[in-house]
């Protein structure tokens, strides 16, 4: 059994965020994170690692959206 380092999970999260920016579907983002691991590290990641990468991407996405709202002067939702 192989384990992913925090940096590897962060890289998977980057792939998930990039995928979400294009497809606007979190399920596709999770698939992108899984495929990134297969392509870059040569093994199928555990589901928990894929979901962690997706959730990290979600946190970053909402932080970007919140910062954009603040920059535009709109109230938070």
- Tally of structural domains, the chain: 1
Q: Evaluate whether residue 77 is within a structural domain.
A: no
Smallest CA-to-CA distance from 29 within 57, 65, 61, 60 is with 57
How many Å apart are CA 58 and CA 51, to the nearest integer?
Answer: 10
Question: Which tokens hold the place of 56?
Answer: 């990290």
pTM confidence score: 0.88
Instruction: Tell me what pLDDT residue 2 has.
Output: 86
**Cα distances (angstroms) measured from residue 34 to each of 13, 15, 45, 65:** 10, 9, 6, 24
Residue range(s) defining the domain that contains residue 20: 6-71
> Tens digit of pLDDT per residue, the chain (77 long)?
789 999 999 999 999 999 999 999 999 999 999 999 999 999 999 999 999 999 999 999 999 999 999 999 877 66
Q: Evaluate whether residue 1 is within a structural domain.
A: no
At residue 66, the 3 state secondary structure works out as: helix
16 CB neighbour count, 10 Å cutoff = 28
**pLDDT per residue as tens digits for the range 15-36:** 999 999 999 999 999 999 999 9
């Amino acid at each position: 059994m192989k384990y992913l380092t925090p940096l590897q999970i962060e890289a998977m999260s980057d792939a998930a965020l990039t995928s979400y920016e294009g497809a606007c579907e979190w399920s596709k983002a999770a698939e992108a994170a899984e495929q990134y691991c297969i392509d870059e590290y040569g093994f199928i990641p555990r589901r928990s690692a894929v979901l962690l990468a997706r959730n990290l991407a979600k946190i970053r996405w909402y932080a970007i959206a919140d910062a954009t709202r603040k920059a535009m002067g709109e109230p938070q939702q």
